[in-house]
Amino acid sequence: MGSGPLLGPVAAQLDTIEDFIVDARGSVRLPLVDVAAQWAEFLGWLYTSTGDAGQARRWFDRAGEWAAEAGNATMTATALSFKGHLAFLLGQLRAAAGLSRAAARVPDAWLGQRAYDAHQEARALAVMGHAAAVRRLAEAAEMAAAVEEHRGETPPWIYYYTAPFYRLERGWVYRLLGRDDERLNAEAIAHLSAGLAGLGDARQSEWAAEYIYHLAFALFQAGEAGQACASADEATAIARRTGSARLLARLRGLQRHMRARWPRDADVAALGDRLR
């Protein structure tokens, strides 16, 4: 259903929880604050997804405050991590890398969170053209491989940090590294395709469409017009159904690149019609 329709209900839940916290005391307070941090993190994500960076940052800050009070190390790291993701979306790449490193350094945070943060840092480094991106990506892959041994400790708010999800993150980084390297771009296509195949019904979600877009971009970089259009079509359908204006804008940008490269391709023209 997309992020937009959830903003009102989630904000209403948080209003109620905040009222409880004002008067909470004794043994019930810290568990309640811990729950509040999880709701705040979710609302921050919804605002990120709908393009309200100011509100997103506000709720990630609140999630971090409540996590610190509750002594929840993994939520503390998650809040920092999402602020890093927000910075990445805003083009603030040094902040994205720095916040990702900070999240990965939080003592006692779950290994799966640190594995994600290593991928996110590698992504920011890749956009900036840093050679360190490849090394950080290798470290991220090692941590992701070790996560399965700690699967029973998965916090409920990051249930989706699974093996397919880490492959999607790896594919995104390889897509960026593969702009001028056919071998790395082929790695991107392989990881993104495998990760998406492992999502099941979650492939139809708004957040999964982000990775379908990156698969389409990697296929474009590989010169595969038909396959790139097919993936872009899949992402377009999800973006329209979930009302994701941000993703539709990115898909339109990709289609313009396609049109410049393949001006007479019928699939590219048809994709442009569906995106208008």
pLDDT for res 131: 87
CA dist 158 → 63, 155, 232 (Å): 14, 6, 27
At 106 the three-state DSSP class reads: coil
Q: Which long-range contacts (CB under 8 A, 24 or more apart) does 5-11 make?
A: 6/46, 7/43, 7/46, 7/47, 7/50, 10/39, 10/42, 10/43, 10/46, 11/43
What gap in Å lies between CA 11 and CA 7, rounded to an integer?
6
Sign of the Cα pseudo-torsion (272, 92, 102, 121, in order): positive
Whether the Cβ atoms of residue 23 and residue 45 lie closer than 8 Å to each other: no
pLDDT of the chain, 276 residues: tens digit per residue: 889 999 999 999 999 999 999 999 999 999 999 999 999 999 999 999 999 999 999 999 999 999 999 999 999 999 999 999 999 999 999 999 999 999 999 999 999 999 999 999 999 999 999 889 999 999 999 999 999 887 788 899 999 999 999 999 999 999 999 998 999 999 999 999 999 999 999 999 999 999 999 999 999 999 999 999 999 999 999 999 999 999 999 999 999 999 999 999 999 999 999 999
pLDDT for res 12: 97
Closest by CA to 41, choosing from 15, 78, 13, is 78
pTM over 0.85: yes
